[in-house]
Structure 1
């Protein structure tokens, strides 16, 4: 049963899939068979994955909007992926992501308290592990 899982890397990244198509990377990263955590088995964005791309570096201040969208979807697909388009709509890049607070996410991005707190947790991990 554990043969389909890949080890989880820091920041919620997964290892390279060997695929050069960013859209395929996003779909593959969102596939339930690649998730380790129990809460990650219910959501698979499939064709709504858009053009998000895996962040190229570990420093989020260098990320563009699509890399942030990938991070949001990858962090917690069940709770956060449905909100990824709001980050795209509001042009949240890596620098803006690091500045976000839960109140801002709820007021301006329309997140409920639970998803906002979960995302704050993932953003705090990013801040702690910045190079």
Structure 2
């Protein structure tokens, strides 16, 4: 059984291919490529797998996305993330207003451009951009 266990490691396309190619094409480059690609997840220890799972890019993406696709269940922080991601340049500077005015998902869906300008103090351009993203959100099936 030990021989059959070694067989898939040598012959398997996922595990065997990368092991034989770095040895024949250049072994020194293989260690440098493994951590960024998270390939140790397959053949490495659970510690290496956890390191890949907790990479900053994955955490950053997850933290930016609202927890639920249904905006009516969003918290104020979910709305802040949505506004930042919708248009970081035009709307990013205004995200603190959503915290200050406690705009959660339900409130976000009720906002109109005149309210955004009057109560949040946004200029017409950013207000219209925000309304566009809110309308897209309303049209999406959640």
Say whether the fold is shared (TM-score over 0.5): yes
Cα displacement (A) at 1:57? 1.5
Greater relative contact order (Cα 8 A, min sep 6): structure 1 or 2? 1
Partner of residue 77, structure 1: 88
Q: Determine if contact 1:68/1:92 at 8 Å carries over to the other structure.
A: yes
Normalising by structure 2, we get a TM-score of 0.57
| Alignment partner of 1:110 out of 97, 121, 129 | 121
Structure 1 runs of 4+ with >6 Å offset: none
Partner of residue 103, structure 2: 92
Q: Which has the larger radius of gyration?
A: 2
In the alignment, the residues of structure 2 paired with residue 130 and residue 116 of structure 1 have an alpha-carbon distance, to the nearest angstrom, of 23
Structure 2: state its 5+ residue gaps: 1-56
CA RMSD of aligned residues (A): 2.0
In the alignment, the residues of structure 2 paired with residue 101 and residue 18 of structure 1 have an alpha-carbon distance, to the nearest angstrom, of 34
Mapped pair 1:123 → 2:115? no
Structure 1: state its 5+ residue gaps: 1-16, 20-24, 30-51
Cα displacement (A) at 1:53? 5.0
Larger proportion of helix: 2
Q: Count the aligned residue pairs.
A: 87
Normalising by structure 1, we get a TM-score of 0.62
